[in-house]
Amino acid sequence: MTQSRRIGLLGGTFDPVHIAHLHIAACVRHDLNLDEVRFIPAGAPPHKPGAPLTPGRDRLRMLEIATSAVEGFVVDPIDLETDGPSYTSELLARIRDQRPHDDLWFVIGGDSLAEFHTWHQPESILAHARLAVAARPGWDIEASLASSPVPGLAQRVDVFSSVPVDISASEIRNRLNSGRPVDWLLPEQVLNYARATDLYRHNSPDLR
């Protein structure tokens, strides 16, 4: 009989991966007693059509650099292997097909929970995975659950705690582009890779 595993799924553009991403992953793994957290870089986010995005191979490599020495952190390129925009519901369906016996949690913030009913096929998302919700100041999780029109949402949510780390990847990109310091905002090895490859030096004042 196949042993089921407890797996957290943390999606995002990771452009670049920074310490807030790593902190969230460590907290959800600890609080929900997960076997691993899988970082899933987005291929073509449907909510950001036409937005400039660093090539997937570079974002994937930065994630590998950032997580290689951390137990329980895994990088999964599944969303980079598809053509066109990929909705969370479709991504989770593919992961569920690969892992029919595992217990899955999709990691989001309290701010995203308040808007969950606007996501593409939210009920399909809940059919494939539970939601691991990071408690954040200013967002009332209980109120969001009580007011949500999504059936059964409250029964599919687990809340975990983390220290709020207000870091914007777009601000990191802009600072790298202008030569300003970003030390301590992302792992040193990731910073070295970004600088060595000139990923974010485009002579533009705003790369968002």
Closest CA to 126 of 109, 145, 150: 150
Helices 188-197 and 56-67 pack at an angle, to 10 degrees, of 150
pTM of the entire predicted model: 0.93
Is the Cβ–Cβ distance between 92 and 116 less than 8 Å? no
- Residue 80: pLDDT over 60: yes
Q: For residues 4 and 50, which has the higher predicted lDDT (pLDDT)?
A: 4
Read off the DSSP letter of residue 33.
Answer: T
Structure confidence by residue, pLDDT tens digits, 24-74: 999 999 999 999 999 999 987 766 656 689 999 999 999 999 999 999 999
In the chain, what are the domains?
6-165 (3.40.50.620)
The identity of residue 87, as a single letter, is: Y
- Per-residue pLDDT at 51: 67
Mean pLDDT of 176-204: 91
Nearest to 12 by CA among 36, 32, 47: 47
